[in-house]
Structure 1
Amino acid sequence: MSDSGRRIGRSAPEVTRAVRKRGTTVAVGTGSRGPVRHRPPFADRRRFAGLCAGLAGGVVAVGVVGIAIGAVPISPGTVVAALADHAGLPVSAVDPVADQIIWTSRVPRVLLAVLVGAGLAVAGAVIQAIVRNPLGDPYLIGIVPGASLGAVTVIVAGASVTGALSLSVAAFLGGLLAFAATFVLGRQDGHWPPTRLVLAGVAVGYLVSSFTYFLQTIATPNQVTRVLFWSLGSVASARWGDLALPAIVVSLATVWLLLHGRRLNALVNGVDVASALGIQVGRFQFQLMVVVALLTGTLVAVSGGILFVGLVVPHVARLLVGAENRRVLVASVLLGAVFLPLADLLARTVRAPVELPVGIVTAAIGAPFFLWLLRTSGRRAR
């Protein structure tokens, strides 16, 4: 028996049953200290299916409302008719002006918000599993600070320094380079211990942010405004051409993660458990981090640094469905796809006709809600 097997003292089948049993009761970060006393309300398979159906309906409802509300109000009936017309269904004629507003501006915006919300939620769920801490999010491994540096460099320095790089490409490359530094610094003995990975990510994030702040000190007032708006995130400039790459990346990443859900469950329960089940921990951690880096870098490049989605949404998902990671991923996708379009709707209506960066709204909603969740979950655990 291997050293890890001796430390566990159980056979692989017994460990597998233990992982499955704990999957619906142990929250990320609790390890083997015992089950949480509160059973998640949607841990049952039938209730979980009902939750997914309800959230899917919520995505459609929020999408229709988000398309209807704007500087030019459009009735939900007209929105549905326009969408049906573009889908090739027989409907009555739609006003051309309303159709142009719906199809060229608002539909891409809502769809991008759905993709970004779903993708950031999935990335947050995976990072929380890797570091075994519910406070993990995409900011933790340096991707967002790196992307911000790339974008700010383009905004402030311009083509004289960045050449032909667009803002989105520079943000993507900056995020990947910062992640690479975290990846190298966080490695120890062939794998990535959670504490070391977190510390490396925080250190890289602060270092990269110092360069970003320096560039802001030499920027013009107009450039500072652009930097601030990008750093807080927005989907206001979404066009149809912006959707293809995020849609492909989010879909492929989510499917791949779902296929490896059992391995992710084992990793959450500790390196020893994962090793006893025959998982090459270092290799699997590497694969997870690469998937998260590509996913987060792609989304941040098209939407900016949107706050709190990757932190709060996966935590809410675990409270609803338990700690089984395949269910958490599905619930996170749907919750994120509802949350961010709703936040974007508030961002463009709170001070209409002036639009707020959507990151302000996500933080304003997410932070108090997260504190309330911490308070209520602490009561349940007593």
Structure 2
Amino acid sequence: MSIALVASILVSAGTGQLEIPPQEVLGSLLHHIGIDWLPAPTHAAGDATLWTIRFPRIAMAVLVGAGLAVSGLIMQAIFGNPLAEPGVIGISSGAAVGAGLSIVFGLTFFGQWTTAVLAFAAGLIATLVVYGMSRADGKTEVVTLVLTGIAVNAIGGAAIALLTFLGDTQSREQIVFWQLGSLQGSGWAQVWITAPVIAVGLFAAYAAGRKLDLLALGERNARHLGVNVELLRIVMIFVVALLVGASVAFAGIISFVGLVIPHLMRMVMGPAHIPLVTASALGGALLLTLADLGARTLVPMAEMPIGMLTALVGGPFFFWLLRRTRKRSGGWG
């Protein structure tokens, strides 16, 4: 996957209205670190196009894809089922509402961080609501989890509609951006804000990997082995809100990355969470890099919403996973 990710980055960076061969893309990267092994872009605007427009956009795709995939992995671990995903249970829509509040009312009390902070806070609130309502007799009920997520998504959609009604034309356009999801206009400023947040989230996921393995044995067994289950869940919920809030704040709602990638990686690699964090981060980065490439190139002279593409892939996968889980459990009754 690392090789595939590097290849997708080179192809994506070279694809567009200005075509740049992969060896020239790699040559541009190497030239910036003082290595002159490969030719630089021959087009006069090639180097500027790569470093001003395409590389920051691809960097955001890698960061957001990794963050969403790892957040989905954590959700599945702490809820103990493969159906948990930030978008499915309302975290993404909650975070988008927080961002919408910042947009419509022009809030600036955290400076350039205001949108991200409000997105993070609203996503955390949505997570806590879903978690609290899906608990019964010390267990998380998968059906209640999904149904509560539907309700939270409905409330979030209504709040976004209200903000769209209250906002001016510019605010409405920005809110539509949140609902569709896009990496258009991503710059290095967004990358430098998002990168440390995603890095902290990944570090926390690695640090909790062994405890998540013990939690997979069951809450009672995990407690006997010294795991403070509730504290672990609360901390991990905070980490998920951090990852999703940072991603949604700059990319809008991008659904199903956190559902598809962790489940596929678990099917291939098994249940150990430390290697799964690495695999999910790489898989999410690869998926979103390819989805962004498709969003830019599938329709000539236009750009498709990246969230729409991931939903077209993730929606059918979710139906299959729901049916598969139901068969394994012998029904929901």
State the TM bucket, normalised to the shorter chain: 0.7 to 0.9
Tell me if structure 1 keeps the 8 A contact 2:120–2:246: no
Q: Give deviations 1:40-87, integer Å, cap 9, x for gaps.
A: xxxxxxxxxxxxxxx000010000000000121112122111111112
The aligned counterpart of 1:3 is none
Question: What is residue 357 of structure 1 aligned with on the other side?
Answer: 305
Query: By how many angstroms is 1:203 displaced?
Result: 4.4
Q: Secondary structure at the match of 2:183?
A: coil
Structure 2 matches for 1:1-382, cutoff 5 A? 55-91=1-37, 92=39, 94-95=41-42, 96-140=44-88, 142-155=90-103, 157-159=104-106, 162-163=107-108, 169-180=114-125, 182-183=127-128, 186-187=131-132, 193-195=139-141, 203-219=151-167, 223-371=171-319
Opposite residue 265 of structure 1, the aligned amino acid is: D
1:194-218 Cα distance to aligned partner (Å, 9 max, x none): 2377666554443333221222234
Which secondary structure state, in structure 1, belongs to the residue aligned with residue 271 of structure 2?
coil
For the aligned residues, what is the CA RMSD? 3.1
User: Would the alpha carbon gap of residues 267 and 61 (structure 1) be closer, same or farther in structure 2, given more than 3 Å must change?
Assistant: same
Instruction: Identify if the C-alpha distance between structure 1 residues 206 and 80 changes in structure 2 by more than 3 Å, giving closer, same or farther.
Output: same
Secondary structure in structure 1 of the residue aligned to 2:19: coil
Q: 1:376 and 1:270 mapped to 2: Cα distance?
A: 21
Q: What are structure 2's unaligned runs of at least 5 residues?
A: none
Instruction: Report deviation, 1:124.
Output: 0.2
Matched-pair contact (CA < 8 Å) for 2:123–2:245: no
- 1:294, CA displacement in angstroms? 1.0
* Displacement of 1:94: 3.8
User: TM-score scaled to structure 1, two decimals?
Assistant: 0.75
Counterpart-to-counterpart distance in 2, 1:365 and 1:169: 32
Identity %: 36
CA distance in 2, matches of 1:376, 1:163: 46
**Does the C-alpha gap of structure 1 residues 302 and 221 become closer, same or farther in structure 2, counting only changes over 3 Å?**
closer
Is the alpha carbon distance of 1:371 and 1:87 closer, same or farther for their aligned partners in structure 2, counting shifts above 3 Å? Answer: farther
User: 1:172–1:352: structure 2 CA closer, same or farther, 3 Å change rule?
Assistant: farther
How big is the shift at 1:274? 0.9
Q: Which consecutive segments of 4 or more residues in structure 1 shift more than 6 A? A: 165-168, 196-199, 373-382
Farther-moved stretch of structure 1 (361-370 vs 165-174): 165-174
Cα 1:184/1:69, change in 2 over 3 Å: closer
Give 1:115 shift. Answer: 0.9
- Classify the secondary structure of the residue corresponding to 2:45: helix
Could you report, residue by residue, the CA deviation over 1:265-299 in whole angstroms, capped at 9, with x for unpaired residues?
Answer: 12122210111101111111111111111111111
Q: Which has the larger radius of gyration?
A: 1
User: Residue 298 of structure 2 aligns to a residue in which SS?
Assistant: coil
Cα separation, 1, equivalents of 2:274 and 2:182:
29
Q: 1:376 to 1:181 in 2, by over 3 A?
A: closer
Provide the C-alpha distance between the structure 1 equivalents of 2:312 and 2:206, rounded to a whole number of angstroms: 31
Note the C-alpha offset of 1:346.
Answer: 0.3
Greater Cα shift, 72-81 or 58-67: 72-81
| Equivalent-residue separation in structure 2 for 1:192 and 1:64 (angstroms) | 48
Confirm or deny: 8 A CA contact 1:128 1:134 kept in the other structure: yes
Unaligned runs of 5+ in 1: 1-54
Displacement after TM superposition at 1:172 (Å): 3.5
Between the two proteins, the alignment pairs up a number of residues equal to: 324
